[in-house]
Amino acid sequence: MSQVGKKKRLDAKQRFVLAVLIPTVLFFVFFNFVPIIYAFYISFHEMDFLNPPTFVGLENYKRLIGDTHLYSSLRVTAIFAVTTVFIGGFLAFCFALLINSVKRGAAVLRTVYFLPVMTSLVAVGVIWGWLYQPRFGLLNEVLKLFGLPRQMWLSSPKTALASAIAASTWQGMGYTIVIFLAGLHGISRTYYEAAEVDGASSLQKVWYITIPLLRPTFVYLLITGFITGFQVFDQLYVMSGPLNSTRGFVELLYTRAFSYYQMGRASAMAFLLFAIIVTLTLIQFRLVTRQQVEY
Amino acid sequence: MKRFVTVALVFMLVVGLTLTAGAQVTIRHWDWHQPRMNLKQKYMAEYEKLNPDVKFETQIIAWDDYWTRLMSGVAGGDVPDIAQFHNSQTQAFLAHLEAFPADLFDYEQYKADIINFEAAYLFDGTFHFYPVGIMTGLIFYNADYWAEAGLTEADIPRTWDEFRELAKKLTKYDANGDIQVAGFVPNNILGVFWLDLHYQLGGKLYGEGAQTVDWNNEAGRKALEFIETLIFEDRVTEPGFLSFTEAMGTGHAAMVYSWSWLGGELNNNYPDLNWSVFRLPTFDGKLAPGPIARNNHETGMAVMKSARPEAKDAAFRFLKWLYEETDYLVEVNLILGTAPSNRNLLDDPRIVSHPLISAVAEQVPYTNIPGEIPYEVESSYGLGMLQDLLFFGYSAAEALELAEAEANNVLKERPVKWYVEDLYVPVAE
């Protein structure tokens, strides 16, 4: 009998791999891929889910151009993303260096700094809301002890975004510290010992050894930080400030979709956000992966 | 043969009757408000006893998710047979609600009995959700502070000038001059409070045909300047003070403005608070001709158009039965802090003896319903902006101009179709 045309049968291992993969692939296809394609389809339609969709071509995308609320929400989102990535990242790096040098009580410390990450965002929002309360809040009481003037925090359009960013940075820092610590543990002691023999100071060791060797960690945190920063919703939604001073892009998208029931327009916004994030990610990738460090 | 036919007929009759007797309808129902659902469940259980062929399946869905779920339910064909409804969603859902059948529900009787029935409920001659109660804005006060200041019910202010003096008298400052107990807190509801004052001064929410709002006018400016005086001149509250609910609940307010739902909130979350309530004062002390405030209706249930056919008839029969139960209508209004929409229930002893509901009932005939207000106009891009603009240094005119422009942008995006503000009939003095 000829071998041509005979079907190749899978062995047990391949069948197992397939059996394990199929549910995941199906899940991804039905719960991620299909909705994304459908969202792209409805971005060219006027649709509220309650009535049949009407094809409007590029109208939903065109309307985004003249949408002033969209620009202000993009500004808020960009400020949030840049600040949380750079300031939050810098602070987390400093804390990671400090924690890395701690010999005793490291386990307790790990729990303490990771606790906010595990806390419900709504609970964090409520607690920080009270801390920030201008008349009876704890932060203003502390300022009063030092003779400093009372601040409006979340209640002023001038300080609301900064206040929300501070609270959000506090909550997310534990995760960034863990990533930095993992990177720090991967750096061999021998580099530091060699530097010590050469008489390098602590700051020089950080500058010439730690930072260059943590480059992949920085790249990872920068890219994922920007992606999550641009998708921010809950942090700003829970700690909202007056005059839409903390209204981010995704919150505006959510309002368009679920308050105005403008699903087509909201989908167009989602694809605009996707384009922004992809562009930024590619730029970052180009910029930060040019040089590789090797010792 | 004859015998055979007889036996066959009897057999078919028995089978038919058995099948009919065994057919059971399950009515699915959604609501977002647990206390109201608890009450409904009590009546549903009673109805099930009276009608063994009907069963109920109920589900609570939080308000924030409710309309999204209902919307996706309509799209996906998975809706409750009876949905609790709210008139803020009229424009979006009206086409998906079944009209109450005229052969079961007496439209003419409702026109006579239900307050604002034609304005608030009739769309193209039919109604799609049942009228239950009416809410409006009132002044809530801390009865302990009131008594401490030597005040009695006779001191309830009837004019805003009297109210100002009272608010000043009730404000307490600490040694640093900071407000400890605010005499009056409209914080976080200032725009809604302003709208009532705007009505009192002859203003309206909407311009011609509800295509724009009409705020930046003499009445609007005068109303906002009055609030400005309370805050910056009288210092009965201040920017950044607690919200009206927090201030009232935690004993940091002697008086707050709120809609009547606050009564339930205070009873549930601050059960030890000794509070009472009075109707809004006016600039000249008179109620008529009105309107002196806005009202809105707390609607009842609706039958979904895409509900299962076998459940629709049963659903309407149940609603007919339930809404003829005076006890249910009174009890649900007591839970919601609303005055009954049905005029005949306003004299019910349980309503008359309830301080909150009786205050609502006293004010309601002098209030107006404008129709639909898009969420954004009421919150972040309209009325909600007035407080922030005023707090952060804008004059009344500037604040109204900016808020009006933003609200008009929203109306361009989301035109209002249900508009009944001009139907208000002034009450004879």
Q: Could you state, in order of their start, the residue ranges of all structural domains in chain A?
A: 8-39, 67-288
R_g of chain A computed on alpha carbons? 25
Give the class (CATH, top level) of A67-288.
Answer: mainly alpha
Sort B252 into a burial class: Cβ within 10 Å, 0-12 / 13-18 / 19+.
buried
Nearest to B227 by CA among B389, B40, B377: B389
Distance CA B300, CA B184 (A): 33
C-beta separation of B170 from B149 below 8 A: yes
Higher pLDDT, B222 or A50: B222
Q: Under DSSP, is residue B293 helix (H, G, I), strand (E, B) or coil?
A: strand
Question: For residues A202 and A199, what is the distance between their CA atoms, to the nearest angstrom?
Answer: 10
Look at the domain B135-295+365-423 and name its fold: D-Maltodextrin-Binding Protein; domain 2 (3.40.190)
Residue A188 pLDDT class (50, 70, 90 cuts): very high
CB nearest to B240's CB, from A50, A134, A157? A134
B285, two tokens? 């002390």
pLDDT tens figures, A122-168: 899 999 999 999 999 999 999 999 999 999 999 999 999 999 999 99
Residue A3 has pLDDT above 60, yes or no: no
Look at strands B25-31 and B54-60 and give their pairing: parallel
CA of B68 vs chain A CAs: smallest distance (Å): 7
Question: What tens digit of pLDDT does each residue of B169-217 get?
Answer: 999 999 989 999 999 999 999 999 999 999 999 999 999 889 999 999 9
User: Which residue ranges of chain B lie beneath pLDDT 70?
Assistant: 1-23
Strands (E), B165-311: 172-173, 179-181, 255-259, 275-278, 293-299, 301-303
Residue B67 per-residue DSSP state: H
Window 229-288 of A, Cβ < 8 Å to B: 242-244, 247, 255, 258-262
ipTM: 0.80
Chain B residues closer than 8 Å to A133 by CB: 240, 242
Instruction: Spell out the residues 6+ positions from residue B143 whose beta carbon is closer than 8 angstroms to its own.
Output: B274, B275, B276
Left, alpha or beta for B9 (phi > 0: left; psi -120 to 50: alpha)? Answer: alpha
Residues of chain B with CATH 3.40.190.10: 25-134+297-352, 135-295+365-423
To which H or E segment does residue A142 belong?
helix A138-145
Structure tokens at B164: 């100002």
- Chain B nearest-CA residue for A129: B242
Residues of B in contact with A255 (CB under 8 A): 376
Question: What is the model's pLDDT at position A294?
Answer: 60
DSSP state of B53: T
Which residues in chain B are contacts of A66 at CB distance < 8 A? none
Decide if B207 contacts B214 (C-beta within 8 A).
yes
Q: Which pLDDT score, from 0 to 100, does residue B273 have?
A: 97
- The partner residue sitting opposite B376, judged by closest CB among A135, A152, A259, is A259
pLDDT at A256 over 60: yes
Angle between helix A263-288 and helix A34-42 axes, rounded to 10 deg: 120
Residues 8-47 of chain A whose Cβ lies under 8 A from any Cβ of chain B = none
More confident residue, B133 or A4: B133
Give the chain A residue whose CA is nearest to the CA of B176: A144
- Which of A109-123, A234-248, B231-245 is predicted most confidently? B231-245
pLDDT band at A66 (very low <50, low <70, confident <90, very high): confident
pLDDT at A10: 83
One-letter amino acid at B213 equals V
pLDDT category, A295, cuts 50, 70, 90? low
Residues of B in contact with A247 (CB under 8 A): 380
What is the CATH code of the structural domain delimited by B25-134+297-352? Answer: 3.40.190.10
> Per-residue pLDDT averaged across A66-90, rounded?
95
Query: What's the pLDDT at A112?
Result: 87
Is B239 close to A255, i.e. CB distance below 8 A? no
Residues A223-238, mean pLDDT to the nearest whole number: 94
